[in-house]
Amino acid sequence: MTVIAVFNQKGGVGKTTSTANLAAAMARNNLEPLMIDLDPQAHLTMLCGVEVPADQSVYAFFQEKAGLSDLVRQLSNRVNLIPSHMELARVDVLMSQNQKSLRKLRRGMQEEMLADSGCPVLIDCCPMLGVLSLSALIAADVILVPVTAEYLALNGAHQLENTLRGLTAMGLYRPRRYFLNRYIRGHPSGEKVGHELSKRYGKEFCRTKIYESQNVMEGVGAHQDVFSFAPDSEGAEDFAFLLDELVESGFIRV
């Protein structure tokens, strides 16, 4: 089964929203997904309507006070979540970027069989390349990169390429897929960024685009994935199609 890091160094491109909605799409296909909120902003945790003290969050794992599996909670949409807490910011500050700390998450997942459990794991990363995000890239089998139709988001994807080249040199090649989020049909910058992504990444660029969607946005505010908030909406259809494409192309193994 696949461990997916959802990452782009650029903030606000839809990492959290995509993690939640892709996981919801998986749950609808009876895949029992697990999401790990690895962002001290804890936006994914909030989106799910969850609030926990630091010692019940993923921070406790990095402090060696809890195993990953102790921290899992089941949500009403049949998605599992390991929540975050703002204290998690300490990990980036306190843990130096040595090999041991960067591999802690990967080791934890392997030891507790989360990676082999048969359930897909989605890691929502923070918009910064520090210990937390590098840990996620190392723990992941594949990297999923949302890109919005703006130059800085494209640049974030480009910076990620350099990081992934570094990991490949360490023997840690990670397949990746890029997709366009918040796409507005006919909008010139959307067309331009889509064209640029297709030219740069070829088959690594998903055919499925996630359109700018009021339902997706309002679902976030209502602490709901788009399938629960507006099951018949285009937003729900987009995420169902994105999952189909990722599974059919073999990027996500089910």
Contacts with ligand ATP, residue ranges (CB under 6 A): 11-17, 39, 41, 43, 126-127, 181-182, 210, 212-213, 216-217, 220
Residue 15 makes contact with Mg ion by CB under 5 A: yes
Q: How far apart are CA 40 and CA 8, in angstroms?
A: 15
Amino acid at 61: F
Q: How far apart are CA 69 and CA 63, in angstroms?
A: 15
Residue 10 makes contact with Mg ion by CB under 5 A: no
CB of 223 to Mg ion, least distance (A): 15
Comparison of 1 and 35: residue with beta carbon closer to Mg ion: 35
Q: Name which position in 6, 26, 42, 43 contacts Mg ion (CB under 5 A).
A: 43
**Are 174 and 167 a contacting pair, CB within 8 Å?**
yes
CB of 179 to Mg ion, least distance (A): 16
Which of 168, 240, 236, 154 has the alpha carbon at shortest distance from 197? 154
CB of 113 to ligand ATP, least distance (A): 28
What does 26-45 look like in DSSP terms, one character per residue?
Answer: HHHTT---EEEEE-TT-HHH
**Are 43 and 88 a contacting pair, CB within 8 Å?**
no
CB of 160 to Mg ion, least distance (A): 15
Comparison of 84 and 233: residue with beta carbon closer to Mg ion: 84
By CB under 5 A, name the binding residues for Mg ion.
15-16, 43
